[in-house]
Amino acid sequence: MNTAAADLDEVAMLERAWHDVSPAPARRLLIAAVQAFAERGYHATTTRDIATRVGMSPAGVYVHYRSKEELLYRICLVGHRHSLVALRAAAARSDDPVQQLRDVIGDFAAWHALFHTPARVISYELNALEPAHLTEITALRHEMDLLVRATLEHGVARGVFDVPDIPGTGLALLSLTVDVARWYRTSGRRAPEDIGALYADLAVRMVQAR
């Protein structure tokens, strides 16, 4: 698949995934900002770069967003909220500790492959947020950390996981899954679900599941 076709596919996917961002011009600007930040970096991207991608003037951006930083904040907010929803749904599918860990880590890894562009922007540009916005996003990240820890604690309590350091192991598992966004490319041989299956197996091995 060529780059132009891949970009169009990604736009269509984000249009579906971010359908709750409204009105439609605001959603298109958010998607354009994701792609511009991914290509040029947050600091090198101008509002003109973003507006041009959707056929607007730079002034059109400010109808929906107060600043370039607010665009980044909204990307981080939408991305973290959606990934947290995915994590919670995965954790709720099974009470079996091994299957629950597989679901949580597998789904989270697959999410970072499927949404690798916004996930990469969030990871690289998070520190460009204003302090109040960064605090809000950090709180969402803490919820993810607590959910993974709870999954590990559940397995330890049932006697099926051997995890002497639950916080450290949780951090390691989250770091592995988040890093998928850094290297994943749609042109590679592994689909997001393949990445999820691989990382689910790795997670179970890490906790020495019995």
When comparing pLDDT for 92 and 16, which is higher?
92
Percent above pLDDT 90 for the chain:
84
Q: Please tell me whether residue 72 adopts helix, strand or coil conformation.
A: helix
Would you state the structure tokens that stand for residue 189, as one six-digit string?
Answer: 């041989």
How high is the pLDDT of residue 11?
Answer: 84
Q: What is the pLDDT of residue 83?
A: 94
Instruction: List, for residues 27-67, the tens digit of each pLDDT value.
Output: 999 999 999 999 999 999 999 999 999 999 999 999 999 99
Give the model confidence (pLDDT) of 95-115 as tens digits.
999 999 999 999 999 999 999
Count the alpha carbons within 13 Å of 169 in the hemisphere toward its beta carbon.
24
Residue 29's nearest CA partner among 69, 79, 64, 77 is 64
* Structure confidence at residue 187 as a pLDDT band (50, 70, 90): confident
158-179 average pLDDT score = 95
pLDDT score recorded for residue 209: 66
Q: How far apart are CA 199 and CA 202, in angstroms?
A: 5
pLDDT exceeds cutoff 80 at 73: yes
Name the average pLDDT for the chain: 92
State which CATH number among 3.50.30.50, 1.10.260.40, 1.10.357.10, 1.10.10.520 fits the domain covering 3-206: 1.10.357.10
58: its two tokens: 């730079």
Please enumerate in sequence order all residues whose Cβ is within 8 A of that of 103, keeping only pairs 6 or more positions apart, or say none.
90, 91, 93, 94, 200
Task: Please give the average per-residue pLDDT across 169-196, as a whole number.
Answer: 94
